Amino acid sequence: MEQRTIGDVQVSAIGLGGMPMSIEGRPDEGRSIRTIHAALDAGVTLIDTADAYHMYANEVGHNESLIAKALSTYGRDTSGVLVATKGGHLRPGDGSWTVDGSPKHLRAAVDESLKRLGVEAIGLYQFHRPDPTVPYEDSVGVLAELLDAGKIRMAGISNANPEQIRLAQDVLGGRLASVQNQFSPAFRSSEPELELCDELGLAFLPWSPLGGIGRAGELGDRFDAFTVIGASHGVSPQRVCLAWMLTKSPVVVPIPGASRPETIEDSVRAAELTLSADEMAQLNAA
Ligand SMILES: NC(=O)c1ccc[n+]([C@@H]2O[C@H](COP(=O)([O-])OP(=O)(O)OC[C@H]3O[C@@H](n4cnc5c(N)ncnc54)[C@H](OP(=O)(O)O)[C@@H]3O)[C@@H](O)[C@H]2O)c1
């Protein structure tokens, strides 16, 4: 598969989002492991997770543990796979998502993620979401500490606006590697952040690139141009969507979620699809 760059690491142009395998509606563990193995078979070398991808209060890090298990049972070398996790979000177990961006929480959270992933250093650690009660520079300052301590190899942020991206780059002394924001045909308001990442040479990881769990299947119904152009290439609208993002900028690395082997197998093939300038114009306007 085509390779893209996050910091100083080469990864597959399409990554795997782990969230659907650990939150509400998740499949049994066997199917999740088969899905992760199918992604690895297809050449995926970026897996996105978070300590908050779990359902019940007593299973923090469900998704990190699942990924660690899938990698250890793969039976082949997985040392080239970048596992990107996050801290700063919490799930109390009632279905809600809360935030804690305090340095105290983030320092403790990274130690737990290290244990669950079974690594000495986390490949990419992302601050999940700004906490309105904590100055942004204090939360991101912990990432700088963790880089210096060697607990994380690369630092990223998520759900950040242009001002926060510039602030994080400053606090990290130019060591910010990536930004992960929501971006899809249905949610395009992250265009300014995507453009800023392109300008600064930061990887941009669109989350919910297909519109999110439970809505990804409707993408072609909601945005006809993706279906029409997909039909002309003999591919799914979802594959066109991911190719559209890849074509927008070389810094884009989509992380479509999956809970079935078939969906990630379809998604990775977006990296093979070439879209013309005319098709890009139609999709941009769709
Ligand atoms: N940073 C953040 O705040 C944040 C927030 C949300 C998500 N994320 C990350 O972003 C990742 C992706 O977002 P998401 O999972 O919410 O939404 P998504 O990627 O837009 O949609 C996921 C759903 O798309 C389906 N799908 C995947 N490829 C497909 C294809 N080629 N054709 C048809 N359906 C396809 C999957 O179905 P099956 O389940 O049937 O396989 C899956 O349930 C997450 O997994 C997570 O890692 C980050």
User: What are the pLDDT digits (tens) for 128-164?
Assistant: 999 999 999 999 999 999 999 999 999 999 999 999 9
Which residues touch 23 (CB under 8 Å, ≥6 apart)? 53, 54, 55, 213
257 CA distance to ligand 1 centroid (A)? 3
Query: Using CA of residue 181, residue 267, residue 210, residue 110, what is the dihedral sign?
Result: negative
> pLDDT value at position 172?
98
Ligand 1 in reach of 181 Cβ (< 6 A): no
**pTM greater than the 0.95 cutoff:** yes
pLDDT band (50, 70, 90) for residue 29: very high
Average pLDDT over residues 2-12: 98
Encode pLDDT of 66-120 as tens digits.
999 999 999 999 999 999 999 999 999 999 999 999 999 999 999 999 999 999 9
245 CA distance to ligand 1 centroid (A)? 15
Q: Which atom of ligand 1 is nearest to the CA of 206?
A: 10
> pLDDT value at position 50?
98
> pLDDT value at position 204?
98
Q: What percent of the chain stands above pLDDT 70?
A: 100
- Return the half-sphere exposure (C-beta side, CA atoms, 13 A cut-off) of residue 72: 10
> pLDDT value at position 139?
98
Ligand 1 in reach of 17 Cβ (< 6 A): yes
Ligand 1 in reach of 217 Cβ (< 6 A): yes
- What CA–CA distance (Å, rounded) separates 240 from 50? 27
263 CA distance to ligand 1 centroid (A)? 10
19 CA distance to ligand 1 centroid (A)? 7
- What CA–CA distance (Å, rounded) separates 116 from 63? 9
> Taking all residues of the chain, what is their mean pLDDT, rounded to a whole number?
97
For ligand 1, mutation pick of 48, 98, 210 (most atoms within 8 Å of CB): 210
- What CA–CA distance (Å, rounded) separates 175 from 169? 6
pLDDT band (50, 70, 90) for residue 276: very high
Q: Which atom of ligand 1 is nearest to the CA of 158?
A: 1
Q: What percent of the chain stands above pLDDT 90?
A: 100
> pLDDT value at position 199?
97
Ligand 1 in reach of 213 Cβ (< 6 A): yes
pLDDT band (50, 70, 90) for residue 229: very high
> pLDDT value at position 182?
98
DSSP string of 126-139, one letter each residue? EE-S--TTS-HHHH
Average pLDDT over residues 50-73: 98
Ligand 1 in reach of 261 Cβ (< 6 A): no
212 CA distance to ligand 1 centroid (A)? 5
Helix (H) or strand (E) run with residue 51 in it: none
Residue located nearest, by CA, to atom 14 of ligand 1: 208
Active site includes 74?
Answer: no
Tokens 């949610």 locate to 187
* CA angle (172 as vertex; 168, 176 as ends), nearest 5: 70
Nearest alpha carbon to residue 117 among 162, 60, 80, 68: 68
Ligand 1 in reach of 258 Cβ (< 6 A): yes
Catalytic residue among 53, 56, 125, 136: 53
Ligand 1 in reach of 268 Cβ (< 6 A): no
For residues 268 and 29, the answer to whether their CB atoms sit within 8 Å is: no
For residues 240 and 283, the answer to whether their CB atoms sit within 8 Å is: yes
- What CA–CA distance (Å, rounded) separates 63 from 19? 7
For residues 205 and 9, the answer to whether their CB atoms sit within 8 Å is: no
> pLDDT value at position 179?
98
Buried b / exposed e over 11-30, threshold 16 CB at 10 Å, is: bbbbbbbbbbbbbeebeeee
- What CA–CA distance (Å, rounded) separates 106 from 125? 11
**Phi, psi (deg, nearest 5) at residue 149:** -80, -10
